[in-house]
Structure 1
Amino acid sequence: MRKAPLVLLVLSFFAFLPAPATAATDLPGGKAYFVVSRGSFKTGTTNWMRLSDYTFTTDGKVRARTYLWQQAKPVARQGTGTTPDSSCSTSSSTPPQTLVRSCQVLTAGGFTSSPNESTPGNYRLDGDQLHITWDVPGWNEQWAVVPSPDGTLARLDFRSNALATAGYGYGSNTPLTTRRQMSSVQSFPGNLRLEFHGWDKGDPVSNGSGFDIGLYRTCTTTSWCLTYRQPESANSCQGGSGCKQGGDTSIQNHVVRVSNTDRRDTHWHWCSCLSINSAGKEEFCYKGNSHVKPMLQILDDNGQFHGWVGVEASFSPQNNRNDDMISAFRVADFR
């Protein structure tokens, strides 16, 4: 039998070799799982807020799971199903000066359900610059990736976005199904600070202040809830908020777990004096324009708590868009 030429045998051999593998893409800061808040806050337009988790993979892909709130489609507040127990709240009409009122905690409509959006995209890294192109026409964004000093956390610093005007993000390799319970949140030893970008009566605003989680009370039976009655001081409950001179200018604060299987928490707060309605009658639990702030926990590679990213989606119950209270924010120690 006549033998096939050697060259044909060599070619046949290479025809069955697998194609070369595509080079793996570096993860942003070496981290796969991020929590991100974004918002569009402009003058003369309706604005929106998105609270997302991003999952990055080494094939250059990213997917965002997102809760969306927008002034064009305002939603009512909804109950979380949690009312703090008597160890950290009171049902008395003349409460002790250290306890909040025992009211069901509210959050932004839709936050107790699954995310509104699931959006795929592609990413690339150019040095410390993260570029994301979403599978939505015209939507791309850029962040600077900043590692924490110990390397267990990566921060995203907002650079640009085709649709948003502000944003905050943090990532680690701790799965998004992991969370810290309220006892460890309350005992966090670091220095948390609130920073936000938002919109107030037609104009973009930004600001920051301290956030001392150690002042909050843990609750005995409703252990997934923290409460804090912020005492009277020169705060936002005076002046333009509607509180009368000499009224109770303390603030009712609640931080509550929304889910035990992911990073969702919520912050609900309101001025005590606003429970006096326009007819002069006291409502024990305020039903008006309270602050509802959905949040996602920031965890490092070791699963340790470092704060939250969040949004405020407090839409006017009277459908007066000028009275909406909206923002994207972070409460974090790594800033």
Structure 2
Amino acid sequence: MPSPQAAAASLPGGKASYVVSQGHLKASSQENWLRLGSYHFGTDGTVTASFYLWWQRNPEARQRTGATPDASCTTTAGGSGTRARACEVLTAGGFMGAPDEKRTGTYTLSGNVVSIRWEIAQTWTEQWTVQGSPDGKLARLDLTHSTLATHGYGYGSNAALSTRRAMSSVKAHPGTLKQDLTSWAGGKITNSMDQTFGLSSFRTCSTTTSCLTYLQPSSNNACKKESGCPTYGGGTSANITSIQYYLIKLANSDRRDTLWHWCTCLAMERDQFCYNGNSHVKPLMQIIDDGGAFRGWVGAEASFSTSNSRASDMLAVFRISDFG
């Protein structure tokens, strides 16, 4: 019988519970998919997975969350103020409910490489490299091989997957969060690495405490005339390139958050206050370390086109963390 210390050492990075984002993103495909959820490793060599799935084969409409940030962090006036608009936050279809799939498998650990074989009808194997954080409270997974996925990120600790932090703790995070992202749009793959996530710019909502908001006053590359804002966007006389950002908690007893954002000019082109077109919906899972501290998110973008054109979908897998 192995000692508890030996059993713990057999876990990837010494950690049992991981939040994971992975996707099949290929430029030539319009059957790409995204999975966001968790892995739980047992000391007996088994692993269980629980995931939300978004697939271009079965595109899902954006879903209402029921959360509208209050007047302390939003405005009902619109215009060019410093607050985001008071709009009900949207997320990816299905993310408000239970996960779409659960599966089991086995894993082996060789040095800093964990290999997984899922016990499903088709062959699905994965390899991830494992790296521990300098403080020892977190481990990171980087996908190096998969028979089905092309990209993946994971973070783990020994905190229960039911452990999460409130938005007040998220806002108070003392470190710098950096984002690594791989996205698919219009048949093109884009990689964005080591981008600072401006959490400090978000405004705390005093009544709807599950929400943070941010009106980004201008953007260099988004919200341009050629991107659907011929009257109000950048490059026009109006030259409105602001972006409405909303970050909210979706659950009290698991890691789910969501990020929603859209160009202000897109709503103005439609004479709308809250944009109902192709906004960006980005489900998130909080990264929590051994001490129960918030350390960022893994996430996915599952923004299926409202025109039912798969070529116009916006898909991504990413991580936003202080340990990248």
Return the TM-score normalized by structure 2: 0.93
Report the CA distance between 1:247 and its aligned residue: 3.6
Report the CA distance between 1:91 and its aligned residue: 1.0
Equivalent residue runs for 1:108-257 within 5 Å: 108-136=92-120, 137-208=122-193, 209-244=195-230, 245=236, 246-257=238-249
Letter in 2 for 1:321: R
Partner of 2:233: none
What 5-or-longer segments of structure 1 have no aligned partner? Answer: 1-19
CA contact (8 A) 2:84 2:245 kept: yes
Residue identity over aligned pairs, in percent, reads: 52
Count of residue pairs the alignment pairs up: 312
Please say if 1:263 is aligned against 2:244. no
Report the CA distance between 1:324 and its aligned residue: 0.4
CA contact (8 A) 1:243 1:249 kept: no
SS at match of 1:259: coil
Partner of 2:266: 274
Letter in 1 for 2:252: N
1:87 to 67, 72, 79: 72
Q: Deviations over 1:100-159 (max 9, x none)?
A: 000000000000000000010100101100000001221010000000011100000110
What 5-or-longer segments of structure 2 have no aligned partner? Answer: 231-235
Letter in 1 for 2:200: G
Partner of 1:8: none
Return the TM-score normalized by structure 1: 0.90
CA–CA separation in structure 1 for the residues paired with 2:257 and 2:169:
14
Cα RMSD after superposing both structures: 1.5
Report the CA distance between 1:43 and its aligned residue: 2.6
Q: 230-239 or 105-114: which moved more? A: 230-239
Larger Rg over CA atoms: 1
1:316 to 272, 293, 305: 305
Report the CA distance between 1:230 and its aligned residue: 0.4
CA contact (8 A) 2:50 2:99 kept: yes
CA–CA separation in structure 2 for the residues paired with 1:180 and 1:259:
10
CA–CA separation in structure 2 for the residues paired with 1:32 and 1:63:
11
> Which segments of structure 1 move beyond 3 Å, counting only runs of 4 or more?
20-25
Please say if 1:43 is aligned against 2:27. yes
Partner of 2:280: 291
